[in-house]
Amino acid sequence: MRKFLPIVLVSLSIIIFVVKLFYLQIVDDSYKKDAIELSVKKNYTYPQRGYIRDRNGKLLVENQPAYDVMIIPYQTDKFDTTALASLLNIPKNSFKNKINQAINYSWRLPSTVLPQLTKKEYAAIQERMYKYEGFYIQKRSLRNYNTDYAANVLGYIAEVNRRDLKNNPYYQSGDLIGRQGVEQQYEELLRGVRGVEYIKRDRFNRSLGPYKKGAYDTLAQKGKDISLTIDIDLQSYGQKLMKNKRGGIVALEPETGEILALVSSPNYDPSLLVGRKRSRNFTKLWYDTIAKPLYDRGLQAVYPPGSTFKPLTGLIALQEDEVGLNEKFSCYGGYTYARGARMGCHNHKSPLSMEDAVAYSCNSYFAQIYSRSINKYETPQKGMNNWHDHLTSFGLGNYLGYDLPVGRKGLIPDADYYNRAYDYPTYKWYASATISNAIGQGEVLTTPIQLANVMAAIANRGWYKKPHILKKINDQPIQKDKYVKKRKTTIDKKHFEPIIDGLNKVFKYGTARFLQVPDVEMCGKTGTAENKTVIDGKTVQLTDHSIFVAFAPKDNPKIALAVFVENGHWGATYAGRIASLMTEKYLKGNITRKDLESWILNHSLQDEYAKPLSGEPFEINQ
């Protein structure tokens, strides 16, 4: 018996060892990962970020070198803090703080002492830096802007934050990423692909040559250059016109859906968000919660469209065959649509048929044809849904699908919306309850880009292409199905001509009769939208928004645009003028009506914007 003890002991221990080895080497994968983590280091090479040009090939965004002053604390020798601080041109105390922070962070790893010096600053200190051991200068690449405008379109680049790192495994701490605008939208095109070398290392982090003979190494791929559909001259002109006003301008090329200009006001100089002053400037912009410069009003602001909505009401009534082109409606300075409920109208001749109703913007006319379009159906629900479907075919009431990272849906109410609002079927509702929609008030909400797109659809007589901002990649035009496909509206082509004639008459003798660009047949529509805000818990009406939509020329249109000026009162006053100047600028290249231009440049709405904040009672629509 005693002979078997050794056999049992030896066999048992060997079984345990083999099982443990099996577990360590075959079952558990974590050690393989740990081994690579420990024994392989990655050296990255970062490619140049792609350039951004406008539609005419003007270079908007390129790269500039920047220089970080770095420190590796353990390599430093005793040095003269005062001399170095004065060389770097920073206060001695903050310099000392920086060094202490670096030491606290790591004794052996590099930290930044002074980030992003310009070439000039670098040249000044470069020769004398060698004296300071443990300090060195690291080059990196920053954006350089050749324009002071279009910051909302271009966006900016910043270091990745924790959320980016979690969402996208490509990024690593310290990497740069595009934020807002096309920098964010086309991040993957612009950034290119980082190259990586895998290097074996020992436990002192010394290199031992390439890992697996470089089998996993990749080369950096340069970012792609892109061209935008933006016309930078038109864009900057729009921003100049919008100075001291809040609002947005969206200009599209109707035939292609290309965004010619996307103005949001107030805006900022894109160079503010580059380099050492970036974070201070960004904080300033971010905390301006009143003017909201980082908020893209062209894409994100939802406004009631006001009277600019009337052409759509007209088109729907024509398509539903509920109004004849020569059928006239009388206007008695307003329209009584229910007992005791009356919608006002302004002074104009009466009675009117379709074209003149558009030209004079008659509320009564559009209220009546709206009611007919809804009441054609046996229930208001069916009528409402039909109306809703017509409007969504113009791209309203939902995201438009353009290639920029922000947007809003706006609102086109349907039967469900009113059923909920009126608690149907406990309470019933009828077309008359929704009558304000006819003139673009009530529940309807749109963004400037949506309205510009409606104008493009009207200009094209019944179709549009999705608005988009990317024109070329590496000088090759892009043909993305999504942006090439014609999207048909539900309105037949023949119904557009009378409406377009009406829009043309707006400039001839209607609400914008002084605003036509000389020698250009224009079509447009004014809008004046009531709006409210809440001050100290009370809803207060503010001065109306000034809105204008237009396209030109009437035949073979080249530009369609929507202009919103917050609290600008009449549609023709601010928005109309701006739209007219923008059209002239784009079609003719220079402005002949200098007095019109200087009126806009010199008029500010800052006093208007100050009113609700003043705490004093104030008058509106003066």
Cβ closest to other proteins, residue 15 vs residue 219: 15
C-alpha 292, offset from chain centre: 13
Alpha-helical regions (H) of 470-515: 481-484, 496-508
Residue 37 CB contacts under 8 Å (≥ 6 apart), including other chains: none
278: helix, strand or coil: helix
Does residue number 109 form part of the binding site for other proteins (CB under 8 A)?
no
Does residue number 426 form part of the binding site for other proteins (CB under 8 A)?
no
Query: Shortest Cβ distance from residue 194 to other proteins (Å)?
Result: 23
Cβ closest to other proteins, residue 210 vs residue 442: 210
Cβ closest to other proteins, residue 4 vs residue 130: 4
Does residue number 325 form part of the binding site for other proteins (CB under 8 A)?
no
Query: Shortest Cβ distance from residue 215 to other proteins (Å)?
Result: 13
Query: What is the Cα–Cα distance from 337 to 366, expressed in whole angstroms?
Result: 12
Does residue number 28 form part of the binding site for other proteins (CB under 8 A)?
yes
Does residue number 10 form part of the binding site for other proteins (CB under 8 A)?
yes
Options 8, 24, 232, 296; binder of other proteins; rule CB under 8 A: 24
Per 3-state DSSP, the chain is made up of helix, strand and coil in percentages (nearest 5) of 40, 25, 35
**Number of residues forming the site for other proteins (CB under 8 A):** 36
Cβ closest to other proteins, residue 28 vs residue 492: 28
Query: Shortest Cβ distance from residue 72 to other proteins (Å)?
Result: 22
DSSP 407-436: ----B---HHHHHHHHTTTTS---GGGGGG
Does residue number 6 form part of the binding site for other proteins (CB under 8 A)?
yes
269: helix, strand or coil: coil
Options 166, 203, 349, 538; binder of other proteins; rule CB under 8 A: 203
Which token pair is 52? 């951004």
Cβ closest to other proteins, residue 203 vs residue 280: 203
Alpha carbon distances (Å) from 305 to 292, 353, 442, 457: 21, 22, 10, 16
Query: Shortest Cβ distance from residue 399 to other proteins (Å)?
Result: 49
Alpha carbon distances (Å) from 272 to 188, 268, 481, 494: 24, 7, 36, 50
Residue 296 CB contacts under 8 Å (≥ 6 apart), including other chains: 152, 180, 248, 262, 264, 404, 406
Residue 398 class from Cβ within 10 Å (0-12 exposed, 13-18 middle, 19+ buried)? middle
Options 31, 105, 107, 286; binder of other proteins; rule CB under 8 A: 31
Segment interacting with other proteins, rule: CB under 8 A, options 107-115, 201-209, 240-248, 356-364: 201-209
Query: Shortest Cβ distance from residue 300 to other proteins (Å)?
Result: 49
Q: How far is the first Cα of the chain from the last one, in angstroms, to the nearest whole number?
A: 114
Segment interacting with other proteins, rule: CB under 8 A, options 6-14, 68-76, 157-165, 472-480: 6-14
Site residues for other proteins, window 32-91 (CB under 8 A)? 32, 34-36, 38-40
Segment interacting with other proteins, rule: CB under 8 A, options 195-203, 225-233, 352-360, 536-544: 195-203
Does residue number 200 form part of the binding site for other proteins (CB under 8 A)?
yes
Options 83, 123, 208, 290; binder of other proteins; rule CB under 8 A: 208
DSSP 170-186: T--TT-EEEESHHHHHT
Closest to 446 (Cα-Cα) out of 287, 350, 309, 313: 309
Query: Shortest Cβ distance from residue 107 to other proteins (Å)?
Result: 16
Q: Which is it for the CA torsion 285, 286, 289, 295, positive or negative? A: positive
Cβ closest to other proteins, residue 24 vs residue 484: 24
Does residue number 13 form part of the binding site for other proteins (CB under 8 A)?
yes
Does residue number 594 form part of the binding site for other proteins (CB under 8 A)?
no
Does residue number 95 form part of the binding site for other proteins (CB under 8 A)?
no
Cβ closest to other proteins, residue 206 vs residue 532: 206
Query: Torsion over CA of 104, 110, 113 and 119, rounded to 10 degrees?
Result: -170
Residues in contact with other proteins by CB under 8 A are 2-3, 5-7, 9-11, 13-14, 16-18, 20-22, 24-26, 28, 30-32, 34-36, 38-40, 200-203, 208-209, 211
